[in-house]
């Protein structure tokens, strides 16, 4: 067995855990909400846990549970779940150049959520190759376990929690935009990048306000990318593009 295939070293695990701690304040309130919604829709605590542990994709879980509870055909609920999660298709290829050979990666892809991707894309290039599997394990596992624990908490005591601390559910999720801002800020390296990123952020915000949050992510990213490459297009003599 090569070095790459040996179990990840503890310090790298810990680094991943430490870096993913900010994710928790965003994950847990949403997971608690999911646990509450799922039990109110008639799912047991065990079933709620199974959905969170196996599907592990926030928005699509709400849709799956809502459609099943509403009596929609099961194939349609599955199709909608996959459609919402289709945006994940571009995450792993972006990380691939930073992933050293290891048999662990296929298993770890289960933990590749929006947030873990954003964190990994920013941190993996800064780490030594031998640390990357361990770092990703720590970050992805903590995020996954916090999602499962939050869902269980929501299923068992969600209603009580929401009435006791209503403000907490509103304030804690702000950790996610704060974290994403910190992750995207180093990319503002030139006017070209800055303009394309701003177009992308504003477009995603507009899509969300228009009720298109999930489809808005890939669409806004495509718009930002289009802006980036349009700005690069060389000018021909005479000022024409």
Partner 1 sequence: MSIELWIALLAGALGTYLIRLLPLLWMQRRLRHSRERAGTESMPAWLGVLGPMMIAAVLGVSLVPKTLDSSGWYATGLGLLATLLVWRRTRSLGLPVIVGVASFAAVILLLR
Structure tokens at 132: 């990357």
Q: Which residue, 6 or 94, has its beta carbon nearer to partner 1?
A: 94
- Could you tell me if 95 and 117 are in contact, meaning their C-beta atoms sit under 8 angstroms apart? yes
Give the separation between CA 132 and CA 234, rounded to whole angstroms.
Answer: 38
CB of 126 to partner 1, least distance (A): 11
The site string for partner 1 over 67-106 (x = CB under 8 A, - otherwise) reads: -x-----xx-xx--xx--xxxxxxxxxxxxx-x-----xx
Q: Which residue, 12 or 77, has its beta carbon nearer to partner 1?
A: 77
Question: By CB under 8 A, is residue 57 in contact with partner 1?
Answer: yes
State the greatest distance between any 2 C-alpha atoms of the chain, in Å, as a whole number: 69
Question: By CB under 8 A, is residue 55 in contact with partner 1?
Answer: yes
Q: How many residues bind partner 1 (CB under 8 A)?
A: 91
Choose one: 3-11, 18-26, 147-155, 156-164; the region binding partner 1 (CB under 8 A): 18-26
CB of 96 to partner 1, least distance (A): 4
Give the separation between CA 59 and CA 44, rounded to whole angstroms.
Answer: 19
- Could you tell me if 21 and 146 are in contact, meaning their C-beta atoms sit under 8 angstroms apart? no
Give the separation between CA 118 and CA 169, rounded to whole angstroms.
Answer: 23
Interface residue with partner 1 among 11, 54, 103, 159 (CB under 8 A) is: 54
Interface residue with partner 1 among 28, 38, 49, 118 (CB under 8 A) is: 118
Residues 125-154 that bind partner 1 (CB under 8 A): none
Give the separation between CA 76 and CA 35, rounded to whole angstroms.
Answer: 22
Interface residue with partner 1 among 40, 47, 66, 129 (CB under 8 A) is: 47
- Of 143, 121, 105, 113, the residue nearest 21 (C-alpha): 143
């Amino acid at each position: 067995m090569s070095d790459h295939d040996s179990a990840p070293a503890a310090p790298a695990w810990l680094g991943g855990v430490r870096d993913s701690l900010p994710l928790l304040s965003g994950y847990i309130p949403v997971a608690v909400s999911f646990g509450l919604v799922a039990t109110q829709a008639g799912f047991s605590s065990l079933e709620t846990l199974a959905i969170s542990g196996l599907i592990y994709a926030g928005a699509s879980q709400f849709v799956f549970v809502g459609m099943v509870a509403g009596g929609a055909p099961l194939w349609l609920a599955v199709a909608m779940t996959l459609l919402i999660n289709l945006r994940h298709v571009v995450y792993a290829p972006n990380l691939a150049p930073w992933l050293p050979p290891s048999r662990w990666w296929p298993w770890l892809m289960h933990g590749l959520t929006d947030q873990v991707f954003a964190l990994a894309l920013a941190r993996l290039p800064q780490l030594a190759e031998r640390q990357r599997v361990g770092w990703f394990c720590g970050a992805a596992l903590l995020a996954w376990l916090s999602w499962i624990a939050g869902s269980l908490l929501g299923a068992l005591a969600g209603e009580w929690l929401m009435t006791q601390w209503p403000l907490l559910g509103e304030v804690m999720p702000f950790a996610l935009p704060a974290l994403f801002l910190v992750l995207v800020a180093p990319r503002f390296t030139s006017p070209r990048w800055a303009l394309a990123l701003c177009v992308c952020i504003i477009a995603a915000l507009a899509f969300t306000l228009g009720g298109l949050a999930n489809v808005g992510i890939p669409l806004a990213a495509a718009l930002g990318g289009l802006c980036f490459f349009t700005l690069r297009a060389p000018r021909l003599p005479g000022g024409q593009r």
